[in-house]
Amino acid sequence: MWNNKQMKHLISMQDISKEDILHFVDVAEKIETGKLSPDLNGQLAALLFFEPSTRTKFSFETAMKKLGGTALSLKDAEQTSLKKGESLHDTLMTISQYVDLVIMRSPIEGSCRYASEILNIPVINAGDGANQHPTQALLDMYSIMKTQGRLDNLNIAMVENLKFGRTVHSLSQALSDFSPNLYFISPGHLKMPEHIKNDLKSKNVNFSEHDKIEDVIDKLDIMYVTRIQKERFTDPEEYEKVKNLYIVDTPILKNVKDSFKIMHPLPRVM
Amino acid sequence: MWNNKQMKHLISMQDISKEDILHFVDVAEKIETGKLSPDLNGQLAALLFFEPSTRTKFSFETAMKKLGGTALSLKDAEQTSLKKGESLHDTLMTISQYVDLVIMRSPIEGSCRYASEILNIPVINAGDGANQHPTQALLDMYSIMKTQGRLDNLNIAMVENLKFGRTVHSLSQALSDFSPNLYFISPGHLKMPEHIKNDLKSKNVNFSEHDKIEDVIDKLDIMYVTRIQKERFTDPEEYEKVKNLYIVDTPILKNVKDSFKIMHPLPRVM
Amino acid sequence: MWNNKQMKHLISMQDISKEDILHFVDVAEKIETGKLSPDLNGQLAALLFFEPSTRTKFSFETAMKKLGGTALSLKDAEQTSLKKGESLHDTLMTISQYVDLVIMRSPIEGSCRYASEILNIPVINAGDGANQHPTQALLDMYSIMKTQGRLDNLNIAMVENLKFGRTVHSLSQALSDFSPNLYFISPGHLKMPEHIKNDLKSKNVNFSEHDKIEDVIDKLDIMYVTRIQKERFTDPEEYEKVKNLYIVDTPILKNVKDSFKIMHPLPRVM
């Protein structure tokens, strides 16, 4: 299924070329419309989720099943391992003997990259801390294609929690080859991290930073709203300050373009 | 497998006709004796269990597997969702995109009905609070048929925890089309709820309420004993008062009819 | 797959003959090299794990899947059951109605034997307290065969936690028919239990007890290192005293035989 035959892991959108993205979007469309029925032929994936997850884990389980494989969870990954003091290295090496593929979520940035370096089976990053969430980004690209009919030259705002929101990190990098105009809207303390902005600059991507949705709403094709993730704040007061800052309501939306869509990776909180 | 082609959900025994019950019992008998082997052809069910469960969850998982499908659990449904503050609505809408069927258990009465109203895939109620447990009732009907050879005109006592026991609520309604004589035996505080009794009255079902097993034991075909559910008591002293009230022992059983059977949905506690 | 057609359960290595071990090792080798592909034809195993487990549980799940069956977990076995006060007997009787095979881990010695006595489907012991872990022992025998080319006449040291280490109990019994020289190396409080030593004596197995690895290291074909299991100590100070007693480092290993291998059932802690 990979366009680039060298590619084995899915760790960061930085590793994925424009051609890869177009290929994935194309394959997804063919699967959804019944033109393609990939068969994993009973292959096994290990779900190593060192962080709680509802939707992501369930979506991998159902996806593997629908593709003719099976995803098996390392039960209570975090607790069990911590209890016995086992190292991530040993867990990965052992588990990789049993399966064909590792799908991993971790609160620690870079841990999926580490896994991909020590294992000789494919590793998929299902979210590593505040860093990357590439499968969500690929799904978002597919949703954008479905709703807009194209990926190029879109005006896209990313709103709210840009500092800790791994989905917007991955998505802005995914869009970088498609000449977007990106608007980053967030309170001062939750701005897009410098390393993401530097990466976009080096690729000559147009982006600008704003305080208020109202400044850009009328130009937008897509407003991508993220959740303020309480669990990534070390100071609860900091969370209380920002949690209700951006409320998307009808008055704000009165002059939007016809193409305008709101995207939200869930969960909605307020 | 449904007799009534309109029926899509299984939420309450009040929705199930006499014909449906006879059909289910017939299908179950054919499956058990090998005359019928339904094939779900890889269909996926989501198990949304917002309440702990041992047997019920496991039985749905094995049943789906034996019928050629797969049941996948939303891991730690309650905790994960509560942690991120997600709404039941969003969880249901998302999950329903991945699967063909939702099987749901919840501590909140009416939540399965709500799910069936917002989803366009079938919903099975696997127990909602103290309200209903229709699959248990259908299984009980099948067990009654197997042990008694008929469903009609039986003398059935339901004992102990009739207020909070969702299985006896569903079962008494399931029996209501089969001309039973029902005997409700419970301490004063755990009597069958008024709305169930009103429903039975409106269907002209014979029932009477009693304090002691001894009053009716010699007439019974079936004594259906439920557990005092500690977790549904708000006052632990209330629980201590009633927990050992009904002990079924040999002296009580000395004059029972030949047809007499005890049924217990488990778990046994004392 | 069983050589001895009478054998149905796998509870203790004491039940397994030399012929059975050779048969298992042979079957495992044929499966690994693709000469044999057993098909469980959709059979279901229940995983009853009343104790946390990472690798063992996952390995049974993947093994069942690769052999064409499915292993389903009784979710949160311990907690759920304890919460409702259910007995092990009732849990086992109920679960055994749904599946073809029970795989059980428990903190209580002898509980798997009990299960095998009340159930009429096969029971596999996946570890019962500090007692036995026969599938680990069979895997170890296979690993020994692979690395040494034989099972007979080997010099094998078992190091560290011999009192509570169920894997070394099972493994020493597994080796007892293969004329080994066993060296038990442990601090005084963690010595091999008397009943295991008595069993070995009755089978005329050569074994000796030592304080230091250095005393025997140069004779060894295999050094089997176990973990000090913090969770089996009632006194934390006792644990602190012994936890770093045996550190296997390069100086110790400088004069080992060519055949020398270290085995460790994981997890590594220090």
What's the confidence (pLDDT) of residue B112? 93
Distance from CA of A266 to the nearest CA of B (A): 8
Amino acid (1-letter code) at residue A117: E
Please report the pLDDT score of residue C2 as a whole number: 47
Task: Tell me which residues of B are annotated as active site.
Answer: 55-56, 84, 105, 133
The answer on pLDDT for B3 being more than 90 is: no
Using a CB–CB cut-off of 8 Å, the residues of A that contact C are 42, 44, 46, 70, 72, 74-77, 79-81, 83-87, 90-91, 94-95, 98-99
- Mutate one of C50, C78, C84, C87 to test the B interface: name it (highest B CB count within 10 A): C84
Q: Which residues of C touch B48 (CB under 8 A)?
A: none
**Which range (A203-207, B194-198, C55-59) has the least confidence?**
C55-59
Task: Specify whether the CB–CB gap between C21 and C177 falls below 8 A.
Answer: yes
Query: pLDDT tens digit string along C170-216?
Result: 999 999 999 999 999 998 889 999 999 999 999 999 999 999 899 89
| Residues C76 and C52: beta-carbon distance below 8 Å | no
- Return the number of CB contacts < 8 Å for B and C: 53
Which pLDDT tens digit goes with each residue over C30-85?
999 999 999 999 999 999 998 878 788 999 999 999 999 999 988 766 554 444 44
pLDDT in tens, A5-32: 455 899 999 899 999 999 999 999 999 9
Stated as kind and residue range, the H or E segment containing B181 is strand B181-185
Q: Find the CB nearest B58 among C42, C86, C95.
A: C95
Tell me which residue of B147, B152, B121 sits closest to B259, measured CA to CA. B147
CA C110 to chain B, closest CA, distance in angstroms equals 23
Q: What is the mean pLDDT of residues A63-72?
A: 94
First to last CA, chain B: 39
pLDDT beyond 70 at B46: yes
Q: What is the pLDDT of residue A160?
A: 86
Q: Is the confidence at residue B10, as pLDDT, over 60?
A: yes
Q: What is the mean pLDDT of residues C238-245?
A: 61
**What's the pLDDT tens digit per position in A175-201?**
999 999 999 999 888 999 999 999 999
Q: What CA–CA distance (Å, rounded) separates A192 from B168?
A: 57
User: Which residue is closest to A85 within chain C, CA to CA?
Assistant: C269
Query: How high is the pLDDT of residue C84?
Result: 47
Mean model confidence pLDDT for chain A:
86
**Residue C160 confidence (pLDDT):** 86
What is the structure's pLDDT at C18? 95
Q: Which residue is listed with tokens 């026991």?
A: B165
Q: Which chain A residue lies closest to C228 (C-alpha atoms)?
A: A84
Residues 6 or more apart whose Cβ sits within 8 Å of residue A194: none
Greatest Cα-to-Cα distance within chain A, rounded to the nearest angstrom: 58
Q: What is the pLDDT of residues A226-254, one digit of tens each?
A: 876 665 556 666 666 656 666 666 677 88
Q: How confident is the model at residue B158 (pLDDT cuts 50, 70, 90)?
A: very high
Q: What's the CA gap between B170 and B172, in Å, rounded? A: 6
Instruction: Say what the pTM is.
Output: 0.83
Query: Which residues sit opposite C223 in a β-bridge?
Result: C157, C262
- Answer whether residue A223 shows pLDDT above 90: yes
Catalytic residues of A: 55-56, 84, 105, 133
Q: Is the peptide bond before A52 cis (omega within 30 degrees of 0)?
A: no
**What integer pLDDT is reported at residue A129 of this predicted model?**
86
- Contact assessment for residue C64 and residue C39, using Cβ atoms and an 8 Å cutoff: no
Chain A positions in Cβ-Cβ contact with residue B50 (cut-off 8 Å): none
Least confident of B48-57, B141-150, B156-165: B48-57
| Per-residue pLDDT at C186 | 92
Contacts 24+ apart (CB under 8 A), B22-25: B22/B151, B24/B138, B24/B141, B24/B142, B25/B138, B25/B141, B25/B142, B25/B145, B25/B151
**Cα-Cα end-to-end distance for chain C:** 39
* CB–CB contact A95 C66 (8 Å): no
In tens, the pLDDT along C13-36 reads: 989 999 999 999 999 999 999 999
Closest-CA residue of chain C to B66? C42
Chain C contacts to B (CB-CB under 8 A): 42, 44, 46, 70, 72, 74-77, 79-81, 83-87, 90-91, 94-95, 98-99
Q: What is the mean pLDDT of chain C?
A: 86
Task: Give the A:C interface size as CB pairs under 8 Å.
Answer: 54
Q: Considering only CB atoms, which residues of chain B are within 8 Å of chain C?
A: 52-55, 57-59, 61-62, 65-66, 73, 227, 230-231, 266-269
> Reduced to 3 states, what is the DSSP secondary structure of residue C247?
coil
pLDDT in tens, A75-113: 766 554 444 445 788 889 889 999 999 999 998 888 999
Mean of per-residue pLDDT scores for chain B: 86
Nearest residue to B214 (alpha-carbon basis) of B167, B254, B187, B173: B254
Show which residues on chain C lie within 8 Å of chain A, measured between beta carbons.
52-55, 57-59, 61-63, 65-66, 73, 227, 230-231, 266-269
Q: Which of A107, A196, A214 is nearest to A159 (CA)?
A: A214
pLDDT value of residue B91: 86
Question: Which tokens belong to C238?
Answer: 């006792």
Of A158-167, B220-229, C125-134, least confident by mean pLDDT is B220-229
Cα–Cα distance list, A27 to A34, A145, C203 (Å): 10, 13, 64
C47: which 2 tokens?
């995983």
H-helix segments, B3-101: 18-32, 55-66, 77-84, 88-98
Domains and CATH numbers, chain B: 39-128 (3.40.50.1370), 134-263 (3.40.50.1370)
